[in-house]
């Protein structure tokens, strides 16, 4: 969020920030890009935030209300409507936030989506599962980042999953799609992509979020012209139209089945997490934090879009619990491939390891890039399998 704030300031915007951190705790690198700041007690208390921001802005001229965090895009849309400002409406944003409404609108445009049903109780879920069939996926209607998302292969397994989802008010029960999983990311101006990106998950997010031993890898694809991606790119562009995208980032996930069929997964009107924007920047040697801001404020995208590299990010998870005690394999990897590494941010020895179920970032990452796809993937595999963090 600090980088998006910087981007706004650099394209000429006066930025009023809203957050739940005390102003005194904000880093100097952020403060210098803020014209004013409002601390709210509970950032996710939507009605309270709307009231406080509306009162705070009284008498000031405001041109845009922007949010790049999934859980705040609806709040931003409600505030735009309350202030009479341009931007995507609440109804449009709900189409990007509510997974069942999203699929209904995409399906109505004649596009392939997983068969699915909205469920609010265990009884409804069992009935939906019997109609959809196994395997299936159960996930929150308004979730993000694969949190509380489960593959279910049988009625008995469904009962075990239901026991873990009492805190989820609404869920989507949907057909499981077998195939490779990709992203389709854009910065749009008036709903038209000014920048496009595709990245592949290795392995699929559902596998990575279900197995602690996995080192998740995401690789941005340098060559978007290859035939393998044509269907996904076409699908993504049509989804933007079906959902009424305006200006800003989008992050979509889609599947390519073994027979070549492409299937829509889900989409958000915000950037992808887990440092995906950094990956895209390294792919093209550009600054999408600034170009997103230019698109949102002025309706222009000025950076070159030539793709130079496949950029791979590898997230590491320590073995054991407690503090990191040693890191094996890193020194050798950096000795051999260090000139290709653009970021290395593994937790240092002595740091507490993170709860891998609560963060996509795990216990740190390595980000590397190479113009050849096979080489980038091979190096990512080496980092994933031969670098190990230990904790105790």
Sign of dihedral through CA atoms 142, 144, 148, 154? positive
Residue 148 CA: distances (Å) to CA of 2, 27, 130, 138 = 28, 32, 21, 8
Residues 6+ positions from 171 with CB-CB distance below 8 Å: 118, 119, 120, 125, 138, 139, 140, 141, 165
pLDDT in tens, the chain (392 residues): 999 999 999 999 999 999 999 999 999 999 999 999 999 999 999 999 999 999 999 999 999 999 999 999 999 999 999 999 999 999 999 999 999 999 999 999 999 999 999 999 999 999 999 999 999 999 998 766 567 889 999 999 999 999 999 999 999 999 999 999 999 999 999 999 999 999 999 999 889 988 999 999 999 999 999 999 999 999 999 999 999 999 999 999 999 999 999 999 999 999 999 999 999 999 999 999 999 999 999 999 999 999 999 999 999 999 999 999 999 999 999 999 999 999 999 999 999 999 998 888 999 999 999 999 999 999 999 999 999 999 99
Class of domain 115-175 as given by CATH: alpha beta
Reading the block at residue 114, the tokens are 């997983």
| Location of structure tokens 């562009």 | 237
Phi/psi of residue 192, nearest 5 degrees: -105, 130
Query: If you search the block for the tokens 């509510």, which residue do you land on?
Result: 98
Peptide bond into 326 cis (omega under 30): no
Q: Which pLDDT score, from 0 to 100, does residue 318 have?
A: 97
> Could you tell me which residues come within 8 angstroms of residue 166 by beta carbon, excluding any fewer than 6 positions away?
none
Domain ranges of the chain: 2-87, 115-175, 309-392
Q: Within a 13 Å sphere around the CA of 321, how many CA atoms are in the beta-carbon half?
A: 1
CB atoms within 10 A of CB 275: 20
């Amino acid at each position: 969020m600090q980088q998006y704030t910087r981007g706004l300031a650099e394209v000429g915007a006066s930025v009023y920030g809203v957050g739940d951190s005390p102003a005194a705790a904000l880093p100097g690198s952020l403060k210098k890009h803020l014209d004013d700041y409002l601390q709210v007690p509970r950032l996710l208390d939507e009605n309270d935030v709307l009231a406080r921001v509306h009162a705070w802005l009284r008498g000031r001229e405001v041109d845009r209300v922007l949010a790049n965090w999934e859980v705040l895009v609806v709040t931003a849309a409600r505030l735009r409507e309350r202030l009479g400002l341009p931007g995507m409406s609440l109804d449009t944003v709900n189409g990007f936030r509510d997974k069942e409404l999203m699929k209904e609108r995409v399906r109505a445009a004649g596009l392939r989506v997983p068969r699915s049903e909205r469920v609010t109780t265990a009884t409804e879920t069992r009935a939906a599962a019997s109609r959809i069939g196994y395997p299936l996926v159960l996930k929150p209607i308004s979730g993000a980042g694969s949190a509380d998302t489960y593959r279910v292969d049988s009625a008995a397994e469904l009962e075990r999953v239901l026991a873990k989802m009492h805190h989820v008010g609404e869920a989507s029960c949907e057909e499981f799609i077998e195939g490779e999983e990709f992203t389709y990311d854009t910065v749009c101006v008036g709903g038209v992509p000014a920048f496009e990106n595709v990245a592949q998950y290795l392995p699929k997010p559902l596998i990575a979020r279900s197995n602690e031993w996995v080192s998740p890898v995401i690789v941005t694809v340098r060559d978007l012209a290859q035939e393998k991606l044509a269907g996904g790119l076409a699908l993504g562009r049509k989804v933007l139209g079906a959902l009424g995208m305006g200006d800003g980032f989008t992050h979509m996930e889609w599947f390519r089945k073994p027979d070549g069929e492409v299937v829509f997964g889900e989409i958000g009107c915000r950037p992808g997490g887990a440092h995906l924007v950094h990956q895209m920047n390294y792919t093209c040697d550009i600054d999408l934090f600034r170009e997103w801001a230019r698109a949102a404020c002025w309706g222009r995208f000025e950076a070159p879009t030539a793709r130079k590299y496949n950029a791979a990010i590898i997230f590491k998870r320590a073995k054991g619990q407690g503090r990191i005690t040693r890191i094996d394999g890193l020194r050798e990897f950096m000795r051999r491939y260090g000139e290709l590494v653009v970021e290395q941010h593994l937790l240092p020895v002595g740091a507490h390891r993170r709860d891998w179920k609560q963060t996509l970032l795990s216990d740190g990452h390595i980000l590397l890039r190479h113009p050849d796809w096979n080489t980038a993937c091979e190096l990512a595999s080496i980092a994933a399998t031969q670098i190990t963090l230990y904790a105790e």
